[in-house]
Structure 1
């Protein structure tokens, strides 16, 4: 799901670039690079080398923060749309927001903080 959100953010970046709205371009590039960094981290299995972070929780936090940030950006872009590229970027940004929310929900369900530790859980 992280890969799909990466693609939608890239499409939103292209839409904002065609409308030449520099504020939206900079914010979308930032989200694109942060998500790409986490995606590359998992692809090259660097999360297994850097064990001092709890990577699933960092991924959940990134997804939530990116979803909130992109939601606000997309709402502003759609409400103040003077160009078709800005409107398209805002709509695709809302789609990316939904994907990030889904990613955060699915990852959060996998993380179990309050599960009782038994011998069956330790053997897994």
Structure 2
């Protein structure tokens, strides 16, 4: 009985996710968000800084969700669909935000942040497209896995 009390719950860590295409894409998104954040902060534009930090944190939480395999434990959401909607919404939002930053820049930091924001929007679009391709709604799970493996 004392052995059961001494056993701590173990957390599975999926380092292979960070080496996968989606993991590399998520890390690249986080890097571009961080660069855009620094540029907007240097340019002292808080309206762009806030949106960039928020999307950085959302992407960081999704990466932690996949790396710690919490998506297997928290099954009340369909996480790939949530991730796809986040990426799609963020693509649209960052496209508009970056175009606004480019159109109204007065400081070089805002210009560079707008350009990096457009790069982030491109990465987010690729992420949402790959997630959309992988999500199947009409096929049973075993058929979907066979099609993805081919």
TM-score normalised by L of structure 2: 0.76
5+ residue gaps in structure 1?
Answer: none
CA RMSD of aligned residues (A): 1.8
The C-alpha deviation readout for 1:5-50, integer Å capped at 9, x for no partner, is 1110110001101101111111111111111111111111110000
Aligned counterparts of 1:67 and 1:123: Cα–Cα separation in 2: 27
2:88 and 2:125 in contact (8 A); partners too: yes
5+ residue gaps in structure 2?
Answer: 1-24
2:51 to 27, 48, 55: 27
Q: Which residue of 1 aligns with 2:115?
A: 91
1:101 to 121, 125, 130: 125
Secondary structure at 1:59's aligned position in 2?
Answer: helix
Q: Which residue of 2 aligns with 1:72?
A: 96
Aligned counterparts of 1:122 and 1:93: Cα–Cα separation in 2: 34
Matched residues, number: 122
Aligned counterparts of 1:56 and 1:24: Cα–Cα separation in 2: 27
1:108-119 matches, cutoff 5 A: 108-115=132-139, 117=140
Instruction: Classify 1:80/1:108 alpha carbon distance in 2 versus 1 (closer, same or farther; 3 Å).
Output: same
Aligned counterparts of 2:53 and 2:29: Cα–Cα separation in 1: 13
Greater RCO, CA 8 A, separation 6+? 1
Instruction: Classify 1:113/1:122 alpha carbon distance in 2 versus 1 (closer, same or farther; 3 Å).
Output: closer
Instruction: Classify 1:24/1:122 alpha carbon distance in 2 versus 1 (closer, same or farther; 3 Å).
Output: closer
Q: Which residue of 1 aligns with 2:143?
A: 121
